Structure 1
């Protein structure tokens, strides 16, 4: 590499990163130039990166809404250590441990890399009681749950809350967040998921054997839930419209796509909100809200009110395809996390 005057200059440091070169192909480990933080950014040495179902959809080319164009570094969530701060950053300094939903969509480089230059607004100080792997499991899940339950539904004390998919990546965090805000929580699942839901302190509902009318009667006296948080979509969202309390009921979905009849909701005078957590990353707007949510969530975590459930199988940068397969197969016992650091 040469400087402007033609003299040879030092090459920039390199790093390892997982790159999707074409949709539908297995991501590969590559050597890339280490980024430098620009204005408003910090350079994070990434220790761990959480794997989300969205990562698999992006890899398959089935997530146009994520606006990813290969070749692209994959990965959305991170936990790591700030090593350098760019111009204008005052919230963080070198050595700070941080976590965040930091890239992998909207043209932003992802977090399955040893380093990432990240908009500081997207980060918060890592919860002190969590390991790096545990912290990396939280950002997308907790921001999604927060935007649905807090920002949209305003869940509070004495609310009756139903979480569809209460043992899932977002669902198990939503259950804990609603309880932390004083709500009584019921959650749907099946098989071993029912034990997980029960262990979280919620009342499990086996959706395979329990009809809507039955659990409405036993859980709410037939009045309906104050809040229904849907993480499944499709027919489950249609059921959600029939499960809320008249007038004051709120349905929130993170998968409100496709065509749905609003008649059951309208006849109850209830409301519906959709959550699209990627917007700040894609548009560049309202990113500081993500940082504030993560900071507030970290307080709940450090009080012992939210704890992520991790799959115990270890994965590293060279085994990302195996991590993706574990998520795709459903043969996991919690959130899959890839160890990035040495």
Structure 2
């Protein structure tokens, strides 16, 4: 029996419960893992609350799609991995099928990445989802080129930080959006060329922005989020905007997309309906595209390229895991509350003590 997190109805963090369950034996294409660390993602919150892009199939349900651990058993026919091998688990499966919030759990072999001895479990659970997400959207889909301007909202999230690092590695110019001044300096230290502080209320509309790189480094008053982006780009707009919030705010962001540019929707943390803004804006040459990391992790050739790209960035030091805080499995409710607070900077990781 192993300690496992389950929830019996959708809702807030308090629906999470610890149970002693048998993880089962691995079947064909599966392994049994001893879990050492679990990476928390916004998708976990959305799935738990019933607002994810897929619904809970049955209760009790589990959570988790990113982790690091050690292989304890191999299913029939599994090759390329060995018992006792450290691995990272990347999200290429449904949380309905392989939930990872547990001391021991089954995982599909297609989701495993070998973890070198030099990479500890916390780093192994924190680094892959953010950088695979950023790589897929920016390289595989957008084909970002040197000199392109890239705007990233929710920039202090693990994906937002990975996007800043990836944009810099590609020679693009990352503009970060954050809701308060509290995270401005850290975003600059992470490589943001500019930081727009959008406001305390909903992250959109009126707000202050810091026009660093414009000569004096002083705070300026912006006339709105789109106006700030347009001013920073000399009126041209951004070639790419990556929106993790969605909802009605896409109309404001769309005003700042350069002609033939693309607004990527790679999250929906607002929980509100998302309109297509092109008609209200006079039908500009606007591309609007949804994107999830599964476009990379469920495509073997794309995943091969993504793994090589991220690995080289880690080796060179251009990429790194940014961990805000560690929790233990028995404090999973507090971990989810902290993730929902949006006060974190980078990744939250749950460790599984032995």
Normalising by the smaller structure, the TM-score range is 0.7 to 0.9
1:75 alignment partner, one of 54, 64, 67: 64
Gap change, CA 1:179 and 1:140, over 3 Å in 2? same
Alignment of 1:126-145 (within 5 A): 126=115, 130-145=119-134
SS of structure 2 residue aligned to 1:65: coil
Match of residue 145 from structure 2: 156
**TM-score where L is the length of structure 2:** 0.81
SS of structure 1 residue aligned to 2:54: helix
2:181 alignment partner, one of 173, 178, 191: 191
Unaligned runs of 5+ in 1: 1-13
1:33 alignment partner, one of 22, 25, 28: 22
Alignment of 1:172-321 (within 5 A): 172-189=161-178, 190-202=180-192, 203-207=194-198, 208-209=207-208, 210=222, 211-212=224-225, 214-247=227-260, 249-255=261-267, 258-263=274-279, 267-277=283-293, 286=299, 289-290=302-303, 293-312=306-325, 314-321=326-333
Give deviations 1:103-125, integer Å, cap 9, x for gaps: 78352131111222211212212
2:113 alignment partner, one of 100, 106, 124: 124
Match of residue 15 from structure 1: 2
SS of structure 2 residue aligned to 1:94: coil
Gap change, CA 1:123 and 1:155, over 3 Å in 2? farther
Shift of 1:307: 1.7
Gap change, CA 1:328 and 1:159, over 3 Å in 2? same
SS of structure 1 residue aligned to 2:43: helix
Unaligned runs of 5+ in 2: 199-206, 209-221
SS of structure 1 residue aligned to 2:28: coil
Distance 2:191 2:296 in 1: 32
- Kindly indicate whether structure 1 or structure 2 has the higher relative contact order, using CA contacts under 8 Å at least 6 residues apart: 1
Distance 2:280 2:190 in 1: 31
1:46–1:341: 8 Å Cα contact kept in structure 2?
no
Match of residue 37 from structure 2: 48
SS of structure 2 residue aligned to 1:222: coil
How many residue pairs match? The answer is 324
SS of structure 2 residue aligned to 1:121: helix
Match of residue 211 from structure 2: none
Give deviations 1:133-187, integer Å, cap 9, x for gaps: 1221233333332232222211232222111221123211111112122211111
